[in-house]
A = this chain, B = another copy of it.
């Protein structure tokens, strides 16, 4: 699909940073676990919509990357929401690789608590 079924008016409501980026929160569509946060530019968002898999912009490597391109742990998009200010995305996905999103091998990138004795979140 070329447009990914997206509403053009909705795309126009999005607000990107001066660097052309928007943060994307990635949430498991099944149980609601927040898996990771990464940045998208307009091209990675369009690729995500077109392919149904998540694409991001790597600020450190200055290139587009497809989640799972090395690990195989791709993410299939279930739905994409945007917030009231239009400056953050929430993308619900089905996480491949037995649900593991983090390069550390943890299911979620948010596996450590700031608090004393906090339990692992995976």
Which residues on A are within 8 Å of B, measured CB to CB? 4-7, 10-11, 23, 25, 27, 31-34, 36-37, 49, 79-85, 88-90, 102-104, 106, 109-118, 121
Contacts and interface: CB of A to CB of B under 8 A. Distances in A.
How many copies of this protein are present in the complex?
2
Contact of A115 (B4, B85, B109, B117): B4
A69 to B, nearest CB: 18
Contacts of A11: 114
Contact of A112 (B5, B81, B103): B81
A23 B37 contact: yes
Contacts of A117: 5
A79 B118 contact: yes
